[in-house]
Structure 1
């Protein structure tokens, strides 16, 4: 079981290119808050990323940034320049192309967004910082990201048939590559399920729980599956992931339940049983504690409208 793939599939994260920006200094664009993660890949030149209450961050060609909560921010040639709201920029037909002309150095950026099911309660929001900055680098993982960005830029420039499908898939690939690089760069910075994927035994424990989430797991049984003692599993899992194994399992069960409530007509009792709860009452109580509302209320507020 690939835990990262399972999380991404269960929460339906998908990406899209929102703008292909070419700007010559001086320039500045202000983006409002949005209920999506936003990203920027710097193809050429350099710029600054400015957020309220934070120090400006200088970006160079090859850098990649992700703002997981879609917080408002600005891209600009220098922190002190005047900003133009993104809604007021010129856009061409089809994919949004923005050209800001000036006498100075030119910068090219691909901007995009990742939509989350159940935003802002996606599991990744619990492990990613407000700004993920992946500087250009020379490790194999960095080079893989750079190759994907190069392919993305080529598709945007060529505008061939099927380009939107190709670019959307490349953006999804870019997200996974970004997570791999970020996990390597920040491996020592704190506990998270993403950090746990780097440890063979802890990753194995997470995998068995993801493969059979409804099974009545005990720590002893999970430890036996991955070949470590109960005490070792409990200690290492809590250190790396930030919570005990069975707490992680409960959160994952309720994430799966949220997906089934959004995507299926199954009864609440059936949804609870599918993720390991023997009674509807126990499931409803646990779900409300995790999501802040009952399963019925969650289904009503999160189900997609039927296609007409």
Structure 2
């Protein structure tokens, strides 16, 4: 697996769809902070998005500068922050909860007319999503329709729209899986389009030297890697790899390896809440020679012993 696939597999993203929105004329909706990652896609028309705390106040006003959403655009909200959608800057928003509570046949309506149409939903993740992925992204990930190579995102959105509109058998299930496909494509394209907007291991994927080392670590996390071996995998010197890895990811390659091994061990502990897998078995699986070696590393990274972690973390 590559690092992005590894992390997403660990986090088990699941899509969920909400009612679609039809709007017209002058309109505005004020949303409470979503419980998780939120997405919307503009299938027809245009509107403005404002996310609390995601930008500096606009023109001396308290509210943030709006993001213009055109037909075909989509966005992810990676933080739990209130946000507003509106037709124009002067439109006064109403409570979105009340509008969506009146939705019929999967459609919520606001304003007068149907010139704007949005589909949306959200994503839930397993444990550790905030630190491993979401904190590495900006509060708003905006992907304009004109982004080069965005055909895959448009395809996924079109298929979601068709499933929700035509409602064939198992439409919701298919649409929710398609939403996860869309998420992967959005992340891929955003990394290519805005590499400086991400941090940590995500930023490392944009550096060919660091990406080669990350790929090697993720391919064989249990291997007793040395910096020299990783440098060889990246075809650079040890000093070059160490400097570029630290500057990009924020930690050295072996420190990153330790933390990734602990993430893998933590997943196994969560999945074996009843104790089916022994700590020794888990230790060897993630690259530690003994249960005690894993325990020392685990406590240093997580702040508690593997046994305490397993007792406190029910399996998902």
The interval holding the TM-score normalised by the smaller chain is 0.7 to 0.9
Q: 2:163 corresponds to which residue?
A: 155
Q: 2:217 corresponds to which residue?
A: 209
Picking from 107, 117, 120, the partner of 2:116 is 107
Q: Distance in 2 between matches of 1:186 and 1:290?
A: 30
Give the SS at the match of 2:232: helix
- The 10-residue stretch of structure 1 (225-234 or 281-290) with the greater mean CA deviation from structure 2: 281-290
Q: Distance in 2 between matches of 1:239 and 1:6?
A: 22
1:277 aligns with 2:288: yes
The CA deviation string for residues 80-110 of structure 1, in whole angstroms up to 9 with x for no partner, is 41321426522346xxx23214325631111
Q: Distance in 2 between matches of 1:143 and 1:208?
A: 30
Q: 1:77 corresponds to which residue?
A: 87
Q: 2:192 corresponds to which residue?
A: 184
Give the SS at the match of 1:43: strand
Asked if 1 retains the 8 angstrom alpha-carbon contact of 2:19 and 2:108, the reply is: no
- CA RMSD of superposed structures (Å): 2.5
Q: 1:59 corresponds to which residue?
A: 69
Q: 2:16 corresponds to which residue?
A: 16
Taking structure 2 as the reference length, the TM-score comes to 0.84
1:91 aligns with 2:99: no
Picking from 190, 193, 201, the partner of 2:201 is 193
What residue ranges of structure 1 are gaps of 5+ in the alignment? none
Asked if 1 retains the 8 angstrom alpha-carbon contact of 2:137 and 2:199, the reply is: no
Asked if 2 retains the 8 angstrom alpha-carbon contact of 1:12 and 1:116, the reply is: yes
The CA deviation string for residues 6-47 of structure 1, in whole angstroms up to 9 with x for no partner, is 111112122222232212233333333344211111111112
Offset of residue 182 of structure 1: 0.9
1:131-142 pair list within 5 angstroms: 131-140=140-149, 142=150
Q: Distance in 2 between matches of 1:184 and 1:218?
A: 29
1:170 aligns with 2:178: yes
Q: Distance in 2 between matches of 1:61 and 1:302?
A: 43
- The 10-residue stretch of structure 1 (106-115 or 22-31) with the greater mean CA deviation from structure 2: 22-31
Q: Distance in 1 between matches of 2:268 and 2:139?
A: 29
CA separation of 1:23/1:286 partners in 2, compared to 1, >3 Å: closer, same or farther?
Answer: farther
Taking structure 1 as the reference length, the TM-score comes to 0.86
The CA deviation string for residues 89-141 of structure 1, in whole angstroms up to 9 with x for no partner, is 22346xxx23214325631111111111115544112310111111221512x
CA separation of 1:113/1:138 partners in 2, compared to 1, >3 Å: closer, same or farther?
Answer: closer
